[in-house]
Amino acid sequence: MDRPSSGVTPPRTTEQQLPGTRPGPEASTDRRCDTAARPQRPRLPETEAALTMRQAVRGWLQRYRPDGPVAVALSGGADSLALTAAAVVEAEAVDALIVDHGLQEGSAAVATEAAALARRLGCRSARISRVSVHGPGGMEAAARRARYDALNRMRDGVPVLFGHTLDDQAETVLLGLARGSGQRSLQGMAEFAEPWGRPLLGVRREATRALCADLGLRPHEDPHNSAPEFTRVRVRTEVLPLLEQVLGGGAAPALARTAAQLREDGEVLDAIAGKLLTDARAGSGLSVEILATAPAAIRRRAIRTWLTEGGAKSLTHKQLRAIEALVTDWRGQGGVAVGGGMPGIRLVAGRERGTLTLAFAR
């Protein structure tokens, strides 16, 4: 049975060549494609998938009310393509931001095709940034850092929307649960953590693929998304399907609901911890006496926020507990090194004269 026509009206201008390159940080290359006038606002077919996607994007825009245009992080995959198609209908204007990690042969062609699709879908511009992936934490972590750095540089002050779906949220929660990462990790991804927005956290992945089919789009299939050496891929293809089978279905929505409930609880606890942090401040340090009298869950939140403000990065559960012990189990122990220092210099949390301190040390 033939699918309905896409309903996407291409701009009447001829397709523009992406202009020449210009250097940027992280050995990146940005290319931008614009037209003098915004393409005619497209129409989507009145299919179930299109309505689902439009309602999700419209609801996000009404909740968070971005002032003016938005950007979409476009990979060329089904989720980001479907998000782009819905966003250009619902938002004032949409810019497509495409990051070429250069990790696969032909990645430049994939990025160029994604930019062309963005223009046909109705984006007012499509911009490509080629980045260099390197650094600690393995390829996944390095690629993520490079991607977010590039998107932040390209976004020109507007919020950036991601195509993360309910299924992605369920995978994130399950991974956090298995790793014992605590409530903050189990909260999953936020709908909006400025400047990053995720309108599709209530939408199943099958809806994004259905909309692409409705529009006659052929999404790019990233081979990394099916590579079993990545833990998330195995959770997606093996663990979650088994969990759905054992529990009789509904596992993914239940995990996503858990994330939403924990996020609501976490916001209340964070507000209380914020007051504790204000009360405990003693110059650049924190009063041990005030921290010691607070409930453990509030105290740890306040300490984590203080450490992050001071430049600490990638805090582990073990580090946070060791720093809390400087307050609750003081035996004269030394300081605790945390991530965030520089080569040859460590960032160390310690205790001096009844005050938690944070300083650089060789």
Binding residues for ATP are 75-80
d(CA 207, CA 191): 18
Can the peptide bond before residue 195 be classed as cis, meaning omega within 30 degrees of 0? yes
Sequence ranges of the binding site = 75-80
Nearest residue to 39 via CA among 110, 113, 118: 118
d(CA 22, CA 64): 34
The distance in angstroms from the start CA to the end CA of the chain is 69
Total residue count of the chain as it appears in this document: 362
d(CA 225, CA 132): 20
Would you say the C-alpha torsion 205, 209, 215, 219 has a positive or negative sign?
A: positive
Nearest residue to 312 via CA among 274, 258, 259, 356: 356
Locate tokens 């073990």: which residue? 318
